C-alpha cells in the first residue's frame, strides 16, 4: 500500500519564478492538506482540499494556490517566488473532512529559492 | 501567536535512560494532542496521541502525560534507543488543520 507520495523531492528556483508541487494521497484517502516547514520551525498549515474544493486556508498570501483532482491527488502552486518561500513543503492525506487526527505525511519537497 | 510551544529545541540522552520531551499550549479548547516523529528526508510520522479526557496514554516505550490545568503535555521514552534520534513535534487538531510546535531534536547516544 503506497503511502503519501510527493514530487519532486528537491527543487531549486529563482526569485520571481513559479513552482508546482505534486502530491498523491494514501490509498483510500480523499483529503489533502499542505504544510510549509521553514528551517527550525514546525509545519505551518497552508490549506486543505476536500471534494476538489479548498476547505480552509492558513495565513498564506494568494501567491499560494492549489488544486485537487478527481482522483484526489493535489497540486500546490506558488507564484512570484520569494527567498522566504524556501522551505520543506509537506503534503498530508486523511479520510473525510474535519480534523487531521489521522493524517499521514509524505516525505516532502525541499524548495530552495535563489 | 504560537498556540503550541516546545521550548527545548534539543535534548541529548544516553541510551537506556529516559527521554522527556515537553510541550505547552495556550488554547484551552484543544481537546486532543498528537506527537509526531520526523527523521531527516522523511515526513512526520504519527507516534502517539492523547485525548483530554485522559491524563496518560501508553504505547510500548512511549507514554504521553497531559496536565490540563497547566496546559502541558510531555512525552516519555523509556528506555531511549539510538533509533529514537529524530525531531519530535507535538500538535493539536484545530478544525481542519494541525497546529504544530517548533519541535525538539532528540539525540540518543551510546
Output the nine-digit C-alpha cell for A24: 498523491
Q: Please report the pLDDT score of residue A1 as a whole number.
A: 64
CB proximity A92 to B under 8 Å: yes
Counted domains in chain A: 1
Distance from CA of B45 to the nearest CA of A (A): 7
- Using the beta-carbon criterion (under 8 Å), do A56 and B97 form an inter-chain contact? yes
- Using the beta-carbon criterion (under 8 Å), do B91 and A48 form an inter-chain contact? no
- Using a pLDDT cut of 70, give the percent of chain A over it: 95
Dihedral sign for Cα atoms in the order A32, A38, A44, A47? negative
Widest Cα–Cα separation across chain A: 38
Q: Please report the pLDDT score of residue B94 as a whole number.
A: 87
Q: What is the pLDDT along chain A (114 residues), one digit of tens a residue?
A: 679 999 999 999 999 999 999 999 999 899 999 999 999 899 999 999 999 999 989 999 999 999 999 999 999 999 999 999 999 999 999 887 665 567 899 999 999 999
Q: Please report the pLDDT score of residue B95 as a whole number.
A: 81
Candidate CATH numbers 2.40.50.90, 2.60.40.10, 3.40.309.10, 2.60.40.1180; the one for domain B4-109: 2.60.40.10
Q: Please report the pLDDT score of residue A102 as a whole number.
A: 75
d(CA A22, CA A77): 9
Which of A48, A90, A98 is nearest residue B43 as measured by Cβ atoms? A90
Report the CATH number that the domain containing residue A105 is assigned in CATH: 2.60.40.10
CB proximity A61 to B under 8 Å: no
Domain around A26:
5-113
Is residue B8 within 8 A of residue B89, CB to CB? The reply is no
Q: Please report the pLDDT score of residue B96 as a whole number.
A: 77
Query: CA of B40: which chain A residue's CA is closest?
Result: A107
d(CA A37, CA A45): 9
Which of A48, A100, A105 is nearest residue B43 as measured by Cβ atoms? A105
Q: b/e string for B44-61 if b means 16 or more Cβ within 10 A? A: beebbbbeeeeeebeeee
Q: What is the pLDDT along chain B (110 residues), one digit of tens a residue?
A: 689 999 999 999 999 999 999 999 999 999 899 999 999 989 999 999 999 999 999 999 999 999 999 999 999 999 999 999 999 999 999 887 899 999 999 999 99
Residue A20: φ, ψ to 5°: -125, 125
Q: Please report the pLDDT score of residue A98 as a whole number.
A: 61
Q: Please report the pLDDT score of residue A99 as a whole number.
A: 57
Q: Please report the pLDDT score of residue A95 as a whole number.
A: 87
Q: Please report the pLDDT score of residue B1 as a whole number.
A: 66
CB proximity A60 to B under 8 Å: no
Which of A56, A102, A106 is nearest residue B95 as measured by Cβ atoms? A56
- Using the beta-carbon criterion (under 8 Å), do A42 and B101 form an inter-chain contact? yes
Amino acid at each position: 500500500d503506497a503511502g503519501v507520495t510527493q514530487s519532486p523531492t528537491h527543487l531549486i528556483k529563482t526569485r520571481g519564478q513559479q513552482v508546482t508541487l505534486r502530491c498523491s494521497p494514501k490509498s483510500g484517502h480523499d483529503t489533502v492538506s499542505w504544510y510549509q516547514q521553514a528551517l527550525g520551525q514546525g509545519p505551518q498549515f497552508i490549506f486543505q482540499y476536500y471534494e476538489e474544493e479548498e476547505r480552509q486556508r492558513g495565513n498564506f498570501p494568494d501567491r499560494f494556490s492549489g488544486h485537487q483532482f478527481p482522483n484526489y491527488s493535489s497540486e500546490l502552486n506558488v507564484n512570484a517566488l520569494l527567498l522566504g518561500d524556501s522551505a520543506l513543503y509537506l503534503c498530508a492525506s486523511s479520510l473525510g473532512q474535519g480534523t487531521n487526527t489521522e493524517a499521514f505525511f509524505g516525505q516532502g519537497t525541499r524548495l530552495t529559492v535563489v | 501567536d504560537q498556540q503550541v510551544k516546545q521550548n527545548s529545541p534539543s535534548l541529548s540522552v544516553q541510551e537506556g535512560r529516559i527521554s522527556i520531551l515537553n510541550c505547552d499550549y495556550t488554547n484551552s479548547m484543544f481537546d486532543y494532542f498528537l506527537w509526531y516523529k520526523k527523521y531527516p528526508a522523511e515526513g512526520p510520522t504519527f507516534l502517539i496521541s492523547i485525548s483530554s479526557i485522559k491524563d496518560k496514554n501508553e504505547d510500548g516505550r512511549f507514554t504521553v502525560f497531559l496536565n490540563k490545568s497547566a496546559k502541558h503535555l510531555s512525552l516519555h521514552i523509556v528506555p531511549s534507543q539510538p533509533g529514537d534520534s529524530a525531531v519530535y513535534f507535538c500538535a493539536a487538531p484545530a478544525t481542519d488543520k494541525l497546529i504544530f510546535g517548533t519541535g525538539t531534536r532528540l539525540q540518543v547516544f551510546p
